[in-house]
Structure 1
């Protein structure tokens, strides 16, 4: 049930292909073995109104939240966060090198006691993705 959620500043809309970034993060997450591929969900939301640091409108950001079910050990969580962050860093390296830009990631565990789920996605996927 991993969710990877990106929030990003509007000024990145024409500088980065957010759809391609979502695919890159999905691929990075799947490659770790920590996230079940059938459950990976990546989405990006643009923030229309942003003030960063001194308010210079050139400043940009991407904030990534990774939410996953509880129960993984520290090594698995580190492997997962490093893989997703490294993929985001690679994808945004030109923006980082050429403009004022902030990239951040936080992993949050989902408390199973208060989490509910329903899905038919696996019914439509090949068995190797389950």
Structure 2
């Protein structure tokens, strides 16, 4: 057990002395991780959160305000539709997206306003057909 700090001795001096004595006794020899660099801490306040989401395989867009999540979905729509195999599937995806767009417009504003209108289903189907021909 470590002795108590004697009165009149600065805390820093006492701690340094305890460390020096422990080194002399070899208590720091062969510790796990010896000779390896210390792990880096977070670069900013939210870095740990980003790493946690990545480890847990959480989609970051699930944390966005609805208006930003829908805007991102609209942006990714052409790529998503290009993976779809049937016209019925395309129509269903666009219908679901349009419903979410309407919900954002009807609901209370959380985050920046959504400046997008519902997607024209027929235009989306026509663009899907053209991409499939190419």
User: TM-score, normalised to structure 2's length?
Assistant: 0.30
Which has the greater radius of gyration?
A: 2
Larger strand percent: 1
User: TM-score, normalised to structure 1's length?
Assistant: 0.30
